[in-house]
Amino acid sequence: MNECTTITVNSPAKINLTFEILGLLPDGYHDVRTVMQSVSLLDELTFDIASAREPSLNIKLHKNSGAAFKAGGEPDEFPTGDGNLIAKALRLFLSSIDRPRALKVDVTVTKNVPIGAGLAGGSGNAAAALLAFNQYFGGPLDAPALSALASKLGSDVPFCLKGGRQLGLGRGDMLESIENESEQEYAHRSSLGADRKSDQTSDRQSQHAPDNQSDHATDHATDQAADQETNLESGQKGEAEIEQDLHFVLAKTRHLSVATPWAYQSWDQKVEVGEVMSLCEKVQDRGIDALPCDYAIANLQSGNLKEALRAFGNDFEQVVFPHYKQLKEIKTRFVASGALACHMTGSGPTIYAVAESAEHANDLIKEFRAREATDHSMVVCAAKFDQVDLYPVHSLKSGARVIHVQKS
């Protein structure tokens, strides 16, 4: 009987703190500039790998996958065939190493990152697969080689592999590290050689289901303008106070999704007729003489969250919100509930609200639910109310991570 190796990997969700569309690259992709952040909403992937005479791959969802099997969800939205990025990652990895061999691979995915949310859940799973196979083969590929493979799988996969807080350029796959994890730490994490469990186990999100409870309104909520970009008045952090973690509430409409190609096409059309105001122009209007990413990064590194929030934003909101009005209503409700800032991530539909602390994030959820219960002005999509799932999360300093290895 062939020995089986079980490798468990966590892959975090990703949000965009800033997102700018700069134009088109020579290859036809859009040129973007974005500050990306890993957050503590995690998929957990278990790879059972053994040598075999004939190669086989079986991908299945764990029955407790909150993101796929919630009431009203569609589990088949998660592909389990050759089109899954996990399968593509396996094929790409095996084609990139010397002396690959036939494998029997069973992958169980506990899916907590919502499907179709713009949170890079699929890209994170691809990054997890690259780490798992590199672990199984004893680390033949170093961190730069893994990153090069990741870029072939998708624009977000290199970030999901490395994680933390990164500046993304080009298609978003050209990364500049801006905090915390050293290159040596990343290289070590990308090619583990021994059985281990990470101290990040406490961040596993199998129990990190969306908080859908309605509760009483909190006293600190404010009724600010619906289109206000940031809630500066409620920011309480001084310039000298450095906060290690950022805290957020993620809001995902349960059925609504936004097609990224459509969002880019809509942006290009508005640019042609001069109907957009870029995030860079908005930041200049706020009296900031710096690129949004540079200003946000500098102030986050110095611990001045209140000032960094002035540069947060997303160019896509100008084309997505008019078409999907419920998303703008979600942002409005978070601002009124006391969020420090609130923006869409990527091309949507997920909205993130910035909180002062984990406690404040939970307060925002309670206030959001209380207002949701009494606010009858929510614009519904698909002729019915689309339920909103809320996830309290915090920032992470790394991306996909091997947390357990066992041979049997």
Which residue(s) pair with 406 in the sheet? Answer: 6
Structure tokens at 123: 């890209």
- Which secondary structure element, helix H or strand E, spans residue 19, and what is its range? strand 4-24
- Quickly list DSSP for 69-87: HSTT--GGGS--STTSHHH
Point out the catalytic residue in the list 43, 111, 156, 306.
156
Amino acid letter for position 224: Q
Q: Which of 14, 111, 162, 331 is catalytic?
A: 14
CB 399 within 8 A of CB 162: yes
Active-site annotation holds for 328 = no
Q: 10 Å Cβ neighbour count for 245?
A: 14
Our answer to whether residue 173 is catalytic in this structure is: no
Give CA separation, 170 vs 27, 138, 360, in Å.
11, 32, 35
Evaluate whether 67 touches 389 at the Cβ level (below 8 Å).
no
What string of DSSP letters covers 234-287?
G----TTPPPS--EEEEEEESS----HHHHHHHHHHHHHTT----HHHHHHHTT
CB atoms within 10 A of CB 170: 17
Contact 237, 308 (CB under 8 A): no
**DSSP SS3 for 377:** coil
3-state secondary structure 35-65: EEEEEEEEEEEEEEEEECCCCEEEEEECCCC
Query: Six-digit token pair at 252?
Result: 């995902």
Place of tokens 């991570």: 401
Residues designated as active site: 14, 156
